[in-house]
Structure 1
Amino acid sequence: MINNKKNILVSVLLICTMVFTNSKLIAQEQVNKDIVIAKNLKWSDKMTLTLMKRHPEAYMIDDSKTPKWDYVHGLVLHGIEELYKKNPDPRYKAYVRGYVDALVQEDGTINTYELDKYNIDLVVPGRLLFDVYATTKEEKYLKALQLLRKQLSEQPRTKSGGFWHKQIYPNQMWLDGLYMGEPFYAQYTVTFEDGKNLDDVAKQFEQIQLHATDPKTGLLYHGWDESKEMPWANKETGNSPNFWSRALGWYAMALVDVLDYFPKEHPKQKELVKYLNSVSASLAKYQDQSGLWYQVTDKGGKEGNYLEASGSSMFAYAFAKGANKGYLPAKYKKLANKAFDGLTQQLIKTDADGGITLTQACQVAGLGGKPYRDGSYDYYVNEKKKDNDPKATGPFILAALELNR
């Protein structure tokens, strides 16, 4: 009899939980369906409201069916977090918080995150936790931050001290990884460790700058294999064979974002500013008259190459923020505005509901793995494209904010 009552009580509680969860989801979906995207909005708001309307819950970004701790969500939601600082629309804050709370458990573990894969991509969504923890002071968010910090403490490294991109990519640093790991690392060490590991943050840039920079163009190759054993790696330098605009974009964004945490008097600050100036000057030479950049950065006119949205958005953001902060000369703000004009005039389509679609974004590209990616020109230009790919929409929001467009 007691067991029966217990079972009934458990069933009632389960039903109540399901009803509450479903009604919350329905309410959120209703809020998002009611979103009106006015013509006179700034581009940052237009893109954010478009994404919220198309993806009622933030975990649905990139067409995800279930909540997943992923770098693309970290990138886009960081952009929305920055937008909220300038336009404190409560819907923006709730959207970001919804993602964090769908994944961070009461004990501080993170659903779908696997520490032992040492995948540096999975550190970047941790940037969303700083503000949530500062606002709520709830211990679960601090524990989640500490868990990601633990990954960086244990992340396998090259002999020269650079973080491997992933456990499955031994001895390799990719430009992407600088954005995935370093802004979080810099913010964490400044927030919780009195900045004691800023030298180690700078070391990551030093390594990739030293090993992956092409002396002729000043551009950086997508990946560097210290062992020089990967079939894609140059047997003398260890570098991959081509310049990919998005990889260079990750690198430029990483530099402008980590500099937020380097005091001017820090011995490595000037060095990072120098790297930013160097890569920006090289990229400026390859900006197309449209304002955009090609998928394979230095091969503008070659058959199959195309003007690509994510790299162009990333460069627009890095140039604009770099100029706004005084790291780059003022002329880079003009180049950023030219790039943004190219994006809005050539690659943006306006949908029937006022929402916007950013076209011509490479969906994904990498090196090695299965099926094997050889880093060749043909490989990069033949990877699939995706409209409103988050690797383009996130930087687009950030660029719009820096340019106040």
Structure 2
Amino acid sequence: MIKKTLLFLLILPVQLLIAQSNLVNFPAEADPMEVGHRIAHRFIAGKHMLHAGKWISYPETFYWTGAINYARVTNDAKLMQAMKDRFSKLVSSEPQLLPPKNHVDLNMFGSLPLRLYQLTTEESYLDLGLPYADTQWQVPENAGQEAKNWAQQGYSWQTRMWIDDMYMITIVQTAAFKATGESKYLDRAAKEMVLYLDKLQRPNGLFYHAPDVPYYWGRGNGWMAAGMTELLRMLPKDHADRPRILKGYLTMMESLKKEQRKSGMWNQLIDEADCWAETSGSAMFAYAIITGVKHGWLREKQYGPVARRAWLALAKYVDGQGAVSEICVGTNKKNDKQYYYDRPRHTGDYHGQAAYMWCINALLDANDK
């Protein structure tokens, strides 16, 4: 009995070391630091990606924030200054590009200045960013009846039951919580997430693009995966909504593990084997799994290899200038399977550039703050 116990104690550390090594010691061509440097620095000279040709879009917002977080993780002062300078130019010389606070895809912009405030404590960032979080729960006079009905139930008036929303709403509300410490922001996001989980998650853990669009679109599911991940990072263990969100997350991760292709990627339509491998959704899934393994929500033995295969596959799609290929362009919902097969694929599209930064920062950041 003593010999068996000693053998177990010797084997256990080795097993843990193997599991943890899945998220470190990558080959040179997949080194997160080097790949991240190319993608993050590419943003410095990148053009704006505008929403409706008018305002800073959500892909640009998230790419920008990803570059800021990479600069923090790697202590890249030059990159951080470039990100702050670009923001100063936006506010002083391009204020017409600041999004209005009237749509779920626009209010998320507040997460960018709120992140800058968290890192710098400069009040101007807080003053700009916080109203984007607050107005998601302040019903405008011209709001429609459906929006008013959601607000009366304690949800955001911007609720529309598209799975994309669960990152757009979650990211600005959690950013407001991190900036202010006020629990109302976290409570709002958690309540909203539970609503979407109860209404939209399928028994297999995945999500249709919308209730009337019965297809498991990759990036749409990626928004859900990333949104749950952001909330679980922030929610206290005793928060009333945490068990429901964790259950939704774990159910989804189990399905994603099954649907991962031999290449390490996930497809544009997750459950369609003949569909093409798509990078932005795959990166979002990898981010959710990497973070889950690091935080202990997912078992390292089961999910560490999934995360490693995913990152090794994803790294192959990044060129020498930091441009990611095979990115599905912006996609509206449509009840037509062929529509998703036929979506154009771009290189360097900010939807994918941003999601890659999430993966890289999760791999590099030991503190994960």
TM-score (norm 1): 0.72
Deviates more, 1:265-274 or 1:174-183: 265-274
Shift of 1:256: 1.1
Shift of 1:134: 4.2
Shift of 1:105: 5.0
Q: For the residues of structure 2 that align with 1:137 and 1:199, how far apart are their CA atoms?
A: 23
Give the partner amino acid of 1:311: G
The reply to whether residue 186 of structure 1 matches residue 174 of structure 2 is yes
Q: For the residues of structure 1 that align with 2:148 and 2:299, how far apart are their CA atoms?
A: 35
The reply to whether residue 101 of structure 1 matches residue 88 of structure 2 is yes
1:4-403 → structure 2 map (5 Å cutoff):
42-50=31-39, 52-53=41-42, 55-57=43-45, 60=47, 62=49, 68-104=55-91, 111-115=96-100, 118-134=102-118, 136-154=120-138, 156=147, 159=150, 162-163=155-156, 172-192=160-180, 194-215=182-203, 217-224=204-211, 233=212, 240-301=213-274, 305-330=275-300, 331-345=302-316, 347-348=317-318, 350=319, 354-367=320-333, 374-403=334-363
Larger Rg: 1
Give the partner amino acid of 2:111: R
Q: For the residues of structure 1 that align with 2:95 and 2:335, how far apart are their CA atoms?
A: 33
Does 1 or 2 have the higher relative contact order (CA < 8 Å, sep 6+)?
Answer: 2
Give the partner amino acid of 2:270: T
Task: Return closer, same or farther for 1:68/1:319 CA change in 2, 3 Å cut-off.
Answer: same
Point out the structure with the larger helix share.
2
* 2:323 partner SS: strand
* 1:223 partner SS: coil
Q: For the residues of structure 2 that align with 1:203 and 1:63, how far apart are their CA atoms?
A: 30
* 2:327 partner SS: coil
Shift of 1:326: 1.4
Deviates more, 1:189-198 or 1:318-327: 189-198
RMSD: 2.9
Task: Return closer, same or farther for 1:50/1:136 CA change in 2, 3 Å cut-off.
Answer: closer
The answer on whether the counterparts of 1:361 and 1:385 sit within 8 Å (CA) in structure 2 is yes
The answer on whether the counterparts of 1:113 and 1:122 sit within 8 Å (CA) in structure 2 is no
Give the partner amino acid of 2:184: K
Task: Return closer, same or farther for 1:126/1:57 CA change in 2, 3 Å cut-off.
Answer: farther
Task: Return closer, same or farther for 1:263/1:110 CA change in 2, 3 Å cut-off.
Answer: farther
Aligned residues: 327
The answer on whether the counterparts of 2:118 and 2:178 sit within 8 Å (CA) in structure 1 is no
In the alignment, structure 2 segments of 5+ residues that lack a partner are 1-27, 140-146
The answer on whether the counterparts of 2:279 and 2:325 sit within 8 Å (CA) in structure 1 is yes
- Could you report, residue by residue, the CA deviation over 1:42-65 in whole angstroms, capped at 9, with x for unpaired residues? 334434435534x5445x15499x
Shift of 1:283: 1.5
Task: Return closer, same or farther for 1:283/1:145 CA change in 2, 3 Å cut-off.
Answer: same
Q: For the residues of structure 1 that align with 2:240 and 2:50, how far apart are their CA atoms?
A: 43
Give the partner amino acid of 2:355: P
Shift of 1:102: 2.6
Q: For the residues of structure 1 that align with 2:124 and 2:76, how far apart are their CA atoms?
A: 26
Shift of 1:68: 4.1
The answer on whether the counterparts of 2:49 and 2:56 sit within 8 Å (CA) in structure 1 is no
Q: Which residue of 2 aligns with 1:18?
A: none
Shift of 1:151: 2.0
Shift of 1:73: 1.6
Q: For the residues of structure 1 that align with 2:170 and 2:321, how far apart are their CA atoms?
A: 33
Q: For the residues of structure 2 that align with 1:51 and 1:186, how far apart are their CA atoms?
A: 23
Task: Return closer, same or farther for 1:281/1:140 CA change in 2, 3 Å cut-off.
Answer: same
Task: Return closer, same or farther for 1:402/1:152 CA change in 2, 3 Å cut-off.
Answer: same
Q: For the residues of structure 1 that align with 2:68 and 2:336, how far apart are their CA atoms?
A: 36
The answer on whether the counterparts of 2:65 and 2:112 sit within 8 Å (CA) in structure 1 is yes
Q: For the residues of structure 1 that align with 2:268 and 2:216, how far apart are their CA atoms?
A: 9
Q: Which residue of 1 aligns with 2:16?
A: none
